[in-house]
Amino acid sequence: MKPRITPETPLRSPSGETVWGSDAIARLLHALELPYVALNPGASFRGLHDSLVNDVGNREPQMLLCLHEESAVSIAHGYAKATGRMMGVVLHSNVGLMHGTMAIFNAWCDRVPMLILGATGPWDAARRRPWIDWIHTAADQGALVRGYTKWDNQPASVPAAYDALLRAAQMAMTAPRGPTYVNLDAALQESALSHLPPLPDPSRFRAPEPPRPAPELVARAADLLSRAAAPVILVGRGNRTIESWRARVALAEKLQARAITDLKQAAAFPTRHPLHVGPPGSFLSDASARAVREADVLLALDWIDLAGTLNQAYGNAPVTAKIVSASCDVHVHRGFSMDYFGLPPVDVNLLADPDVVVPLLLEACRARPQAPAGGAPPAEDRRGNHEVLSLRAVADALNEATDGVDVCLTRLPLGWPGECRHFAHPLDYLGGDGGAGVGAGPGITVGAALGLQGSGRVPLALLGDGDYLMSVTALWTATHYRIPCLFVVCNNRSFYNDEAHQERVAKTRGRPVENKWIGQRIAEPDIDLAALAVAQGAKGLGPVTEPARLAPAIAEGIRAVQDGLVWVIDARVRPGYDADISGERAARLERAARS
Ligand SMILES: Cc1ncc(C[n+]2csc(CCOP(=O)(O)OP(=O)(O)O)c2C)c(N)n1
Ligand SMILES: [Mg+2]
């Protein structure tokens, strides 16, 4: 997809004799067809900034100015979630990188590709300006993000920078995908070159085709699944193509296997399908846990935290089901964070991308004619008359307002009742933020909206007030570049998730539950969330307090987004959740299963 937003067109610059180090780097980024670079400016990359504007003309990549580096990274994250494509980010020296780190961690945990360019004051101390170049030069800047990037490098010459950028792009796009970081020395960017080192041809440095598992392993997996009495598919991370979606459905139908999905990852299987066991959540529902426990063969398609899921279903009892795993996630495990989760037992390990594996299994499996034992009841479809604006009431209003409209949910709030919204297409929902770093929602939504331009889908975020407030200035990038999207802020005027935690602690310790709001409530004064949108050129509506008023408000917002606006609705929801999101219930079930 080519950039669709109106570029800020620079005046033509006179063609001079001199070529600069950063010109060479900018031309390579152009050759890589990087569509956008999100950034907040800084002197450490003033050379590159000049080259992007004046040498390559602010086109491929086109700059997206962001008001905070965390938004810049989240925008690239959302863009990759919606399109599967990588865009760039430029972060200023150590300080810009520090601002971007949480969002980089989210992108890493979510396995999305991203080319992050960094910059440092001149490594050659003799070329540093007093004071500022010294505080903005770090001995090993990449160390700040090495634990949650696939690769980092600080090239010392233009040919080395070519190599680093090609490698960074290739590695970011090789599954399991993720962010890579190339730190560009300010002095290298600002060096005059006697000639432009010849640009390499990026088509010769592309990410490799994904590997296919050995045919004998596929045959063994297919045999296990075809002979199973109660097969279950844990449908985890998958791509956003309709072909892969259909292949998953075809496999489940051929095997008459029940399918379980999860809200941490994007829509990957139709939730209304009779084989789907729901509702999807951050943890297994009771019905899903039962299905896992009763399965004799489990097929895990890059399922996030397979060991934890087995634990929830089995407790301490031995895992009796045979397990087939299709995932290559093991290739990105690093020592810093535990996003590799517990070590699950696996009987057939297909070390490959699940969307490569599914069509192979579909071909190799024999059809199982019988219906699955105790097929899942269809997910709930009830609509209520709501007296208070609960998350369930928000879901009903959303369903009413989006009837017949193609919407892409770019974010769901904590405590979302998974049974209240169905997914029928891979772009119906983009999944969580990967690292559970609050503040990701606004940027991810703007980036996804950018990627969805021209698709006919309305980008729509339902997000917490805490999430919105942490990164609300991401909206300005959307209004400035005319990237339409709709935000429905589920405003409980609290970091409520943690009120629930304080309540649990108080109960355990016999202390007053009434104190749980202290240090949590975002009230007195209430923040005018709509005004924060208006201040940035978006339309802001609310607070909406009446349940009956929300559906018309969302419908109006959708029309506005279709007309090209950025629209925010402050929906005053009651504090409290309609789903278990703490994992405490899951842990209780696990303990019960153990005893
Ligand atoms: C960066 C970051 N800070 C703090 C937290 C801890 N935390 C988890 S959920 C949450 C509350 C988020 O508030 P909001 O988005 O309003 O959702 P609510 O809990 O009210 O439903 C907090 C503070 C976190 N996960 N990430
Ligand atoms: Mg809140």
Q: What is the DSSP string of 225-273?
A: HHT-SSEEEEE-S--S-HHHHHHHHHHHHHHT-EEE--TTS---S-TTS
Q: Is 74 in the pocket of ligand 1 (CB under 6 A)?
A: no
33-53 per-position pLDDT tens digit = 999 999 999 999 999 999 999
Tell whether ligand 1 has an atom less than 6 A from the beta carbon of residue 414: yes
With a 6 Å cutoff on the Cβ, whether 435 touches ligand 1 is no
CB 449 within 8 A of CB 4: no
More confident residue, 115 or 374: 115
Q: From the CA of 465, give the closest atom in ligand 1.
A: 16
CA distances from 45 to 90, 91, 117, 141, 328 (A): 8, 8, 9, 15, 35
Ligand closest to the CA atom of residue 70: 1
Alpha carbon of 100 to ligand 2 centroid (Å): 23
* Contact 437 CB / ligand 1 (< 6 Å): yes
User: Which secondary structure element, helix H or strand E, spans residue 531, and what is its range?
Assistant: helix 529-534
Residue 137 has pLDDT above 90, yes or no: yes
Kindly report the protein residue whose alpha carbon is nearest to atom 4 of ligand 1: 438
pLDDT value of residue 369: 81
Neighbours of ion ligand 2 (CB under 5 A): 464-466, 492, 494, 496
Question: 439-463: string of b/e by CB count within 10 Å (b at 16+)?
Answer: bbbbbbbbbbbbbbbeeebbbbbbb
The Cβ-side half-sphere exposure at 438, using a 13 Å CA radius, reads 14
Residue nearest to atom 11 of ligand 1 (CA): 495
User: Which pLDDT tens digit goes with each residue over 370-409?
Assistant: 665 444 455 455 567 888 999 999 999 999 999 999 999 9
Mean pLDDT of 322-335: 96
Our CA angle for 561, 563, 564, nearest 5°, is 65
* Confidence class for position 288, pLDDT limits 50, 70, 90: very high
Written in H, E and C, the secondary structure of 450-496 is: HHHCCCCCEEEEEEEHHHHHHCCCHHHHHHHCCCCEEEEEECCCECH
Q: Is the CB of 467 under 6 A from ligand 1?
A: yes
Rounded to whole angstroms, how far apart are CA atoms 48 and 107? 24
Report the alpha-carbon distance of residue 257 to residue 372 in Å, rounded.
7
Helices (H) and strands (E) in the chain, counts: 20, 19
pLDDT of 595 over the 50 cut: no
Atom of ligand 1 nearest to the CA of 467: 15
494 in contact with ligand 1, CB cutoff 6 A: yes
Taking the C-alpha atoms of residue 573 and residue 462, their distance in angstroms, rounded to an integer, is 12
Indicate which atom in ligand 1 lies nearest the CA of residue 441. Answer: 15
Cβ-based neighbours of 277, under 8 Å, separated by 6 or more: 232, 258, 259, 260, 285, 287, 288, 291, 376
Measured distance CA(479)–CA(149) in Å, rounded: 30
User: Ligand 1: which of 497, 572, 582 to mutate, judged by most atoms within 8 Å of the beta carbon?
Assistant: 497
Would you place residue 419 in the very low, low, confident or very high pLDDT band (cuts 50, 70, 90)?
Answer: very high
Amino acid 179: pLDDT: 98
CB atoms within 10 A of CB 522: 17
Confidence class of residue 232 from pLDDT cuts 50, 70 and 90?
Answer: very high
* 303 Cβ below 6 A of ligand 1: no
pLDDT tens profile 518-570: 999 999 999 999 999 999 999 999 999 999 999 999 999 999 999 999 999 99
Cβ atoms of 118 and 91 closer than 8 Å? yes
Q: Which ligand places an atom closest to the C-alpha of 462?
A: 1
**How does pLDDT run across 468-497, given as a tens digit for each residue?**
999 999 999 999 999 999 999 999 999 999
Q: Is 545 left (phi over 0), alpha (psi -120 to 50) or beta?
A: alpha
Q: What is the mean pLDDT of the chain?
A: 94
Tokens of 297: 């063969």
Q: Which atom of ligand 1 lies at the shortest distance from residue 492's CA?
A: 20
Which of 482, 418, 470 lies closest to 260 in space, CA to CA?
418
Residue with the smallest CA separation from ligand 1 atom 9 is 497
- pLDDT band (50, 70, 90) for residue 590: low
What would you measure as the largest C-alpha separation in the chain, in angstroms?
A: 78
Region 248-270: mean pLDDT is 98
For residue 495 and ligand 1, the question of a CB distance below 6 A is answered with yes
Per DSSP, the three-state class of 133 is helix
Q: How far apart are CA 226 and CA 221, in angstroms?
A: 9
CA of 497 to the centre of ligand 1 (A): 6
Sign of the torsion angle spanned by Cα atoms 191, 192, 193, 194? negative
